[in-house]
C-alpha cells in the first residue's frame, strides 16, 4: 500500500500530527444528508499533492455516506438485497474518476509482483474484449467523457452484454474491497434480489445517491486540469493510466485541492437537496 499521503481521512479523535506530520491542517467537511448532518475530518499536509492522493480520503467519505442512505431507505420501507458474497453487480459498467485511476495504478504496483502481474493480465484481457467489441458497436463505445443518464443506460446494457467479470473478482469475492472504486460504494439497489440477476438492473431500482463522490472527483480533476469531466471504464484503467503518466505526475497544493473538493461536495449536496424537494 502507498503510504505517507498528504491527504487523509481522520478518525473522530485521531490527531493530524500522528499521520500527516507537524504543521498539518485539519479541514472539516459538514453538510446535510436527508436532514441529518454529516461530519468528516480531513488531515492535510502543507505540501504538494497528486490527483491520486485525494482518492483514499474520497473513498472513506463515500463509505461514510452509505449508512445515511440505508437509514433513509429503511424509513421508506425499501428492501436492499445487497449482502456479503453477492457479486451480481460485478459485471456491470464501473466508471473510475481520473484520481481513482491513478491511485489504482499505484496500488497495483505496490502489491507482490506475482499478484500484480495477474491483475494486470486480467485487466488487459478484459480491455481487449472491450476494444474488440467496440468496433462492432461504435455508436455505443464510450469515450472517457462522462455522459448523461440515457447514454449511460445504453452503455451499461452494451457492457453487460460482454459478460465481463471485474478483473478484481476472485471466487465471487472482491480482492480489493477496502480499495474498491467509489462507483461500487455508491451502487445500492432496492427490490427483489432476482433483479440483480438480470443483465442490467432496472434503473428504477438503483438508488440515487444524495452526493456522488465519483462525480465530485471527476469535477475536481476537471477543474484542476482545465479539461472536460472524464471517467474511465475499470478494465481500461491500468492501460489508460500508463498512457497518461505525465498527468499523474502533476501536483497542486494539497490544501487547495481539498478546499476545492469540499466546495464541490457541498454545492452538490445543496443542489441535490433542492432537487429532491422539488
Between 146 and 112, the more confident residue is: 112
Between 148 and 127, the more confident residue is: 127
Q: What is the pLDDT of residue 276?
A: 53
For residue 114, the 8-state DSSP code is: H
- 158 within some domain: yes
- 105 within some domain: yes
- 102 within some domain: yes
Question: DSSP per residue over 72-84, as a string?
Answer: HHHHTT------T
Instruction: Enter the C-alpha cell of residue 198.
Output: 438480470
CB-side neighbour CA atoms (13 Å) of 99: 33
pLDDT band at residue 57, thresholds of 50, 70 and 90?
very high
- Output the CA angle 45-16-6, nearest 5 degrees: 25
Q: What is the pLDDT of residue 48?
A: 96
Q: What is the pLDDT of residue 152?
A: 56
- 213 within some domain: yes
- 217 within some domain: yes
- What are the backbone angles phi and psi of residue 170, rounded to the nearest 5°? -140, 120
How many domains are there within the chain? 1
Between 196 and 201, the more confident residue is: 196
Q: Which domain holds residue 211?
A: 59-250
Rounded distance between C-alpha atoms, residue 209 and residue 79, angstroms? 16
Instruction: Enter the C-alpha cell of residue 129.
Output: 474484449
- 192 within some domain: yes
- What are the backbone angles phi and psi of residue 96, rounded to the nearest 5°? -120, 140
Task: Name the pTM for this structure.
Answer: 0.85
* Closest C-alpha to 42, from 260, 272, 210: 260
- 23 within some domain: no
Rounded distance between C-alpha atoms, residue 78 and residue 181, angstroms? 25
Between 128 and 226, the more confident residue is: 226
Residues 203-254 have pLDDT tens digits of 447 888 889 999 999 999 999 999 999 888 888 888 889 889 999 999 999 9
- 30 within some domain: no
- Alpha-carbon distance values, 142 to 111, 158, 214, 235 (Å): 30, 10, 17, 13
Question: DSSP per residue over 117-149, as a string?
Answer: HHHHHHHHHHHHHHHHHHTT-TTT---SB---H
Q: Is 181 left (phi over 0), alpha (psi -120 to 50) or beta?
A: beta
Amino acid at each position: 500500500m502507498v503510504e505517507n499521503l498528504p491527504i487523509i481521512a481522520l478518525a473522530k479523535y485521531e490527531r493530524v500530527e500522528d499521520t500527516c506530520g507537524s504543521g498539518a491542517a485539519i479541514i472539516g467537511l459538514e453538510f446535510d444528508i436527508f436532514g441529518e448532518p454529516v461530519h468528516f475530518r480531513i488531515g492535510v499536509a502543507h505540501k504538494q499533492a497528486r490527483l491520486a492522493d485525494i482518492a483514499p480520503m474520497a473513498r472513506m467519505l463515500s463509505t461514510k455516506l452509505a449508512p445515511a442512505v440505508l437509514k433513509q431507505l429503511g424509513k421508506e420501507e425499501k428492501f436492499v438485497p445487497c449482502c456479503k458474497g453477492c457479486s451480481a453487480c460485478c459485471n456491470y459498467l464501473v466508471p473510475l474518476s481520473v484520481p481513482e485511476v491513478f491511485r489504482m495504478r499505484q496500488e497495483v504496483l505496490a502489491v507482490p509482483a506475482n499478484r500484480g502481474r495477474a491483475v494486470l493480465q486480467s485487466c488487459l484481457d478484459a480491455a481487449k474484449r472491450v476494444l474488440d467489441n467496440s468496433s462492432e458497436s461504435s455508436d455505443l463505445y464510450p469515450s472517457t467523457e462522462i455522459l448523461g443518464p440515457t447514454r449511460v443506460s445504453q452503455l451499461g446494457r452494451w457492457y453487460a452484454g460482454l459478460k465481463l467479470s471485474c478483473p478484481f473478482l476472485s471466487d465471487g469475492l472482491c480482492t480489493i474491497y477496502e480499495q474498491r472504486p467509489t462507483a461500487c460504494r455508491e451502487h445500492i439497489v432496492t427490490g427483489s434480489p432476482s433483479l440483480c440477476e438480470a443483465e442490467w438492473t432496472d434503473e428504477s431500482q438503483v438508488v440515487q445517491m444524495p452526493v456522488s463522490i465519483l462525480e465530485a472527483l471527476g469535477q475536481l480533476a476537471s477543474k484542476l486540469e482545465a479539461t472536460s469531466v472524464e471517467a474511465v471504464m475499470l478494465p481500461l484503467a491500468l492501460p489508460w493510466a500508463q498512457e497518461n503518466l505525465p498527468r499523474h505526475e502533476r501536483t497542486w497544493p494539497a490544501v487547495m485541492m481539498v478546499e476545492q473538493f469540499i466546495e464541490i461536495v457541498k454545492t452538490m449536496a445543496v443542489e441535490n437537496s433542492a432537487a429532491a424537494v422539488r
